[in-house]
A and B are shown apart, each in its own frame.
Chain A
């Protein structure tokens, strides 16, 4: 099986703060891979480093066999798209859904825009009625669907998901998670998904990496985690915390 993303010795340094300390990661093609950890563990920084939004100080990142340089070319962004945590912040407030979806098509000079927009909206379950609305006229779940449509419209092979449902209500979260699973199956996508919620990661991903303070704590398969077959105390703590409050 070929690797979709290979990362070796990745260092990210903000001024003097080392956000990532030599992280190694391999995501196979077509796989859904999870990153878990608490805030400040570097899980989001890892996604940002892949897209070129974080200052990489050392190490290599290869996507679909191609090692990335200092800048990313257009072809990279056609292949790799990202969905952000906060659907209220990631959509332009003064652009209609139609305009939002036109943008990536214009950047990449794609001709059959009309058809693609219709298909993308259809795929995320929004339909034509939403095409000329503004973000403020949509609910949180609908906004996240638009963000997913925007990511899918370029037909990428890899989707980077940064806490895609943590700003949503539980019932809406279920709908968005189902949608993500469905598009992954249909389009044979590779997911790299960040979440602080172990239950979401075990639901969505086959393998995962637990992170703390910019380092990998351990790498597990979902079934190892479900069976509590973990070797690090930190992971055990996360597991216990995810089971809810227990009166002592």
Chain B
């Protein structure tokens, strides 16, 4: 891992202080995110946790994609100095896809099934920039080439169901990068892909994030994958941050939840029968 230090914290891109997301339900209020705080520079930050830990809702709240019935509050939620919470929804919308972009888990569901891949990329570009049709097409093709799609002219005219999962996710990345965002939120971007394809997609994402100097929030349940990809890791449990640490110092993790999560996965060459299981303590959620 080279060049991490000079990429880190060159100015703060995103400040999150005491972020809370609550959902009203029939049985009362559910607090999905309970006071999450972190800041992000032009670096790669991983948010790790198990289902229900609030990691995805944190990402969605930053993006402004929380469902309307839920309530988002924070002492501070600022992107590049702009307060996101007091912003009008139309200005927020202009920001979304332009300066902040998001990659979702499964390209099967996140791409429009009745629109060709090329048109979707062009649509994103022309929503945020005034460019002519021919130029937009040229830039979309160039972007497809950047995500290592070998025959971009062919893929441009395909519908999402005609491409593989790995190809679909590359198209998604191309679509998200075309407007040149400064912050990218990737919510489980490779979980729906085969292990061998996973690495290709991560390599592309890694290179593009580094070249363009973006900030990246990588949300995943896979602690080991995140720590091999990110500079810093935030570990979440029951809507709260239980630990923040440098990815390189994961081995020295202090919190029993982080340690348990690292420990309970089977590893090739480390025989342990039975596997250590997580002994959940109520005070972790307190």
Contacts and interface: CB of A to CB of B under 8 A. Distances in A.
Contacts of A244: 224-225, 228
16 contacts: A38-B194, A38-B197, A140-B51, A170-B223, A170-B264, A174-B264, A174-B277, A203-B275, A204-B266, A241-B199, A242-B195, A243-B268, A245-B199, A245-B206, A246-B228, A248-B203
B50 interface: yes
Contacts of A169: 50-51, 221
A202 interface: yes
A181 B268 contact: no
Contacts of A178: 274-275, 277
A247 B1 contact: yes
A170 B276 CA distance: 11
A196 B265 contact: no
A171 B202 contact: no
A39 B268 contact: no
A126 interface: no
Interface string B180-204: 0000000000000011111100110
Given A238-B196, A241-B196, A181 B264 contact: no
A199 B267 contact: yes
Nearest to B230: A245
Contacts of A177: 266, 274-275
B23 interface: no
Interface in B118-157: none
A198 B224 contact: no
Given A170-B221, A171-B264, A182-B274, 8 more contacts: A38-B195, A172-B50, A174-B278, A197-B266, A202-B268, A203-B273, A242-B195, A244-B225
Interface in A183-217: 196-200, 202-204
A238 B264 CA distance: 21
Report the interface size class on chain B: 35 or more
Report the interface size class on chain A: 35 or more
Contacts of A6: none
Interface of B: 1, 50-51, 165, 194-199, 202-203, 206, 221-225, 228-229, 260-261, 264-269, 271, 273-278
Interface string A6-45: 0000000000000000000000000000000011000000
Contacts of B223: 170
Which residue, B165, B266, B274, has most C-beta atoms of chain A within 10 A? B266
A102 interface: no
A173 B194 CA distance: 19
Contact of B225 (A226, A237, A245): A245
B199 A199 contact: no
B56 to A, nearest CB: 14
Nearest to A172: B50
Nearest to A199: B266
B229 A245 contact: yes
A176 to B, nearest CB: 10
Contacts of A174: 264-266, 275-278
A39 B223 CA distance: 23
Which residue, A173, A181, A203, has most C-beta atoms of chain B within 10 A? A203
A225 interface: yes
A226 B268 CA distance: 6
A244 B1 CA distance: 14
Nearest to A169: B50
Contacts of B267: 199
Contacts of A241: 195-196, 198-199
Nearest to A247: B1
Contacts of A203: 266, 271, 273, 275
A170 B225 CA distance: 13
Nearest to A204: B266
A199 B273 CA distance: 13
B161 to A, nearest CB: 15
A174 B198 CA distance: 23
Closest 5 CB pairs of A and B: A203-B266, A38-B194, A171-B278, A174-B264, A178-B274
A175 B274 CA distance: 9
A177 B195 CA distance: 20
Contacts of B276: 174
B194 A39 contact: yes
A239 B195 CA distance: 10
B221 A196 contact: no
